[in-house]
Structure 1
């Protein structure tokens, strides 16, 4: 049997969903490569998958390879190379985390349950040793060439990951742990930064900076104790949903907020690649000083969020406005308690004044427009500081 395995690089097999679910509950399926695409499907995608399964239509195969064998417990685990989104969607449905046509799995008729649990999924097992990371990377890269397209933010954050500004943002937003940032950059460069994928930003020479080491200054300013408050907001469910975080929307907000704090003025629309490069070339002391201001503002906001403040102020638009406003007025805010901030914001919302109606409208329309951002900032500055 060993010789047969050596003669071929993969084999086809089939497994019922009930068996795959048992693998899942027994932790036999893992996602060892941290450069895996993150779980990004919307509810509609998940429900469409369940619909496909119930109707007996085929779904794409799942690619796996051996992860490791425990010779003491005589158990084996498998690394999922491709198909994580499909598997997680199925497992979430079986765990009653969402419904299909108004019914969760535990509310379905027995016949419907059988149809799902007995559905056969094709497994393609790659014959790769767990330590053959280069082969795993190559397979992953090829599988993902035709996979679910990266959104603009994911592509931008991938292609600019070697620049200090993007590295800071990715650590702060919890995309990667600081301890793994060097390996992360190497993996991303190998997997995605191919010649035909590089962004054209004016005539900037990207190749000149590829392979640059991450400085100790960046690593120092991004230690968790120095960014713990902004990191908590970006990675918790207070402002950003699970979907927001998985699609790196929280990262996009931080990139823009941090840019506004650095420039001392509001920017128009989302941060450009050119500005990301320019900010990366700033003195590290400036980057650290502004990052500290951002974290201090987040510390105040977290205390405000813990109080009886209306949920409106926890939406993404208000977070954007309040974060920048607080970061730019840390000296003034020292004389205003968190309870007073909550009181002023709630009273403003209940006032039904002309200013409130203007702010409410500005929160809904043109959220990336500089003039609208300035309008929101001006109104809230008067509410909090009387100016």
Structure 2
């Protein structure tokens, strides 16, 4: 089957796009689409482009069926999520056309919400014609995903994790995304807003799951993560066990933070490289002792409270291991060994 033969070309107004989107007939399939990425400046520039009457790139949508109760046709957005999201958000009054991001600083629409535009400007937006490529329902989902990847492979808009989100729909990534919903991450602001938009949380959590499955010596490079997604795509019997273990370790970290009067430990929990090491060290302690003792909790709190101002041999080595390359296998192993020994009291700082 040649996909190009299964695509119809037509134009639709923004009015049609907004109505179908708000009615749920035009939607984003997040099983392969990335999270909403555009910042306000990108959204504003798009709206300005429309107001200026310039052309914007075409949008791909895929017919997925018909609502049996209303007869409305359902479409999945294959390419154009950012553009449609920006348009609908502006129409809904979610942002104004901030002057700082406009090329025409003194335009009449500068600084205005949609509701504040002139009648003519509103009419121009509603009537603006978008180029659509409608993909017929007969096209298989795997071909749609390949098309999405192909459309996004010619530029740098998608990072490796976003590409994985499009390519894989298996058990491993689903488990990582469920763990990403744990309250811990937001409570301690582990991931920035940009990292969340670009699925940095899912990639980091994937590295934790890789450790639980393959140990500390496993590869956490991009190719290594891809291999794990392949291996555990269709069968992942340990998924619930891994999720429970992650939750248990995060709960232990939470307890340590509450006992740390200095507040220093929480600072390192917010840093992914430190969090990765702390996660593995605590896992090893819990595996060996079932629970962390009061003395062990005291040891890790004391270590991090002195971390930045300690100049003993071990503390300096530990800091250097983070500076020399956090993903290097030998460095990872040595960092975990040091921290584990500190927690167990084998090393006194």
TM-score by length of 1: 0.59
Map residues 281-360 of structure 1 onto 2, 5 A cutoff.
293-304=245-256, 310-330=266-286, 331-332=288-289, 333-336=291-294, 340=298, 343-344=301-302, 347-349=305-307, 352-354=309-311, 359=318
Where does residue 370 of structure 1 map in the other structure?
A: 329
Question: Quick one: structure 1 residues 53 and 306, their matched pair in 2 at CA, closer, same or farther if it must change by over 3 Å?
Answer: farther
**Deviation of 1:365 (Å):** 5.4
Post-superposition Cα deviations, 1:252-307, rounded to whole Å, max 9, x if no partner, equal: 33343333344544446526459649976xx9888887665444323323445677
320-329 or 330-339: bigger deviation: 330-339
In the alignment of these two chains, the number of paired residues is 313
Q: Give the C-alpha shift of residue 96 in structure 1.
A: 3.9
- The aligned counterpart of 1:253 is 204
State how far apart, in whole Å, the 2-side matches of 1:80 and 1:157 are: 15
Identify the residue that residue 63 of structure 1 maps to in structure 2.
60
Q: Which residue number corresponds to residue 86 of structure 2?
A: 89
Residue 118, structure 1, aligned to residue 118, structure 2? no
Distance 2:96 2:283 in 1: 39
Q: Are residues 1:145 and 2:129 paired?
A: no
Equivalent in 225, 232, 253 of residue 182 of structure 2:
232
Q: Displacement of 1:324 after TM fit?
A: 1.0
List gaps (5 residues or longer) in structure 2. 1-5, 103-108
Match of 2:27 among 26, 30, 45: 30
Q: Distance in 1 between matches of 2:228 and 2:50?
A: 44
- Per-residue deviation, 1:173: 0.8
Which whole-Å deviations, capped at 9, do the CAs of 1:99-141 have from their partners, x for residues lacking one?
755479x98147995658834241426384xxx3536764564
Name the CA shift for 1:360/1:14 in 2 (closer, same or farther; >3 Å).
Answer: farther
Cα 1:284/1:312, change in 2 over 3 Å? closer
SS at 2:54 equivalent = coil
Please state whether the residue corresponding to 1:145 is helix, strand or coil: helix
Check whether the contact 2:27–2:76 (CA below 8 A) recurs between aligned residues: yes
C-alpha displacement at 1:340, in angstroms?
4.8
Aligned counterparts, 1:260-275, within 5 A: 260-267=211-218, 270=221, 272-273=223-224
Check conservation: 1:230, 1:295, Cα contact below 8 A: no
Kept in 2: contact 1:234–1:240 (CA 8 A): no
1:230–1:299: 8 Å Cα contact kept in structure 2?
no
> Does residue 381 of the first structure (1) align with residue 340 of the second (2)?
yes
Can you give the 5+ residue segments of structure 1 that lack an aligned partner in the other structure?
Answer: 1-7, 175-227
CA shift for structure 1 position 86: 1.6
1:55 offset after TM fit, Å?
4.8
Note the C-alpha offset of 1:27: 3.9
Indicate the SS of the match to 2:276. helix
Give the match for residue 105 of structure 2: none
Secondary structure of the equivalent of 2:309? coil
Query: Quick check: 1:61–1:124 contact (8 Å CA) kept in 2?
Result: yes
Q: 1:93 to 1:320 in 2, by over 3 A?
A: farther
Equivalence for 2:10? 12
The answer to whether the 8 A contact 1:61-1:121 is kept is no
Q: Which deviates the most, 315-324 or 291-300?
A: 291-300
Aligned partners of 2:13 and 2:129 also within 8 Å? yes
**1:264–1:69: structure 2 CA closer, same or farther, 3 Å change rule?**
closer
Alpha-carbon distance between aligned partners in 1 of 2:37 and 2:295, rounded to the nearest angstrom: 41
